[in-house]
Amino acid sequence: MTERFEMYERLYRAVYPPDIMPMFWKVNGEISSAVFKDKNGLSVERSGDRDEPSAIKDMLQYFSGSIIAVTMRDCVSCEAVVEYLPTKRSIFHSEIHGSKERKLLSQSQCKHLAKAARLCFT
């Protein structure tokens, strides 16, 4: 798999349900910007060459809860940096960073991605 991300490529993130992590969800059921805060780099699974049902099926082998997605274009539009960082568990593992120098996304980047996020699986 190439390190280059296509603008349309989806980046999936597992999110605990409201009864476990209420701060990840707004009262109206929308995604909260808190989902995108991680000082160690925001862990995601890139779609790569998979369709969405396959990507979700693969993720559900290791994660529980809901799965959301943003696109590479969403990240570029808020100047977030996406790094391809495969692991032993997943060749699709990647991280979204606030910049090349800083892993933590800014508050405005988190809000932008929360607005762009799409719920794919609950």
Would residue 2 count as lying in a domain?
Answer: no
Which residue range(s) make up the domain with 66? 10-121
Would residue 47 count as lying in a domain?
Answer: yes
Distance of alpha carbon 10 from alpha carbon 122, whole angstroms: 17
The model's pTM is 0.95
Distance of alpha carbon 90 from alpha carbon 100, whole angstroms: 23
CA of 7: how far to CAs of 1, 20, 72, in Å?
16, 33, 5
What does the pLDDT read at residue 1?
82
pLDDT tens for the 122 residues of the chain, in order: 889 999 999 999 999 999 999 999 999 999 999 999 999 999 999 999 999 999 999 999 999 899 999 999 999 999 999 999 999 999 999 999 999 999 999 999 999 999 999 999 99
Would residue 115 count as lying in a domain?
Answer: yes
Q: Could you give the number of structural domains in the chain?
A: 1
Would residue 52 count as lying in a domain?
Answer: yes
Would residue 90 count as lying in a domain?
Answer: yes
